[in-house]
Each structure stands twice: as structure tokens, then as C-alpha cells.
């Protein structure tokens, strides 16, 4: 890695470290007031607010083909 890229990487790491330390200080001053279950319920609600087209995972054509092949092989296996 050249010295310019190394300097840039050092700067990125330094900024991230400073940000993480600032978050830790904030977290110490603002203790969690909600249970983990409540947090997950809230996340689930926020997920449901997303449009359906965003919530659907992309179609993986390779996996789709494999599933089809498994279904066909299951039919053939049932016949023998």
C-alpha cells in the first residue's frame, strides 16, 4: 500500500475510532430504557412500514433452478 493510501486509511480508522468513542460516551449517559423484546417489536413494526417490493428478497435464479430440480427429482424418486 502506498503512503498516501496508508495515510487515508489511518485517517478513516481514526475518525471511526473517534465516532465509536463518542457513541460509547453517549451510551453511558443514556442508558437503555427498553427491553430487548420491545426493541425487536419496534424493529418488526418499522420493517412492516417498508413497501412490499422492498421487503421481498431478490430472486436468485440459480437457487430457483436448484429448487425446481429437487422437486422434479422428488417426483422421479417417488415413482421408483
CA max distance for the chain: 68
* Angle (nearest 5°) at CA 44 between 23 and 28: 20
pLDDT, tens digit (0-9, with 9 covering 90-100), for 34-64 = 888 998 999 999 999 999 888 887 777 777 7
**Domains in the chain: boundaries:** 3-79
pTM: 0.37
User: Which residues are CB-neighbours of 42 under 8 A, at least 6 positions away?
Assistant: 34
Q: Helices in the chain by DSSP H: which ranges?
A: 3-29, 36-49, 52-55, 61-79
The DSSP 8-state label assigned to residue 59 in this structure reads P
* Cα–Cα dist 41/35, whole Å: 10
Amino acid at each position: 500500500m502506498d503512503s498516501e493510501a496508508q495515510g487515508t486509511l489511518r485517517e478513516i480508522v481514526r475518525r471511526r475510532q473517534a465516532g465509536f468513542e463518542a457513541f460509547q460516551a453517549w451510551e453511558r449517559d443514556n442508558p437503555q430504557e427498553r427491553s430487548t423484546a420491545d426493541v425487536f417489536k419496534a424493529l418488526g413494526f418499522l420493517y412492516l412500514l417498508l413497501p412490499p417490493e422492498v421487503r421481498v428478497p431478490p430472486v436468485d435464479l440459480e437457487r430457483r433452478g436448484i429448487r425446481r430440480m429437487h422437486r422434479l427429482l422428488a417426483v422421479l424418486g417417488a415413482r421408483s
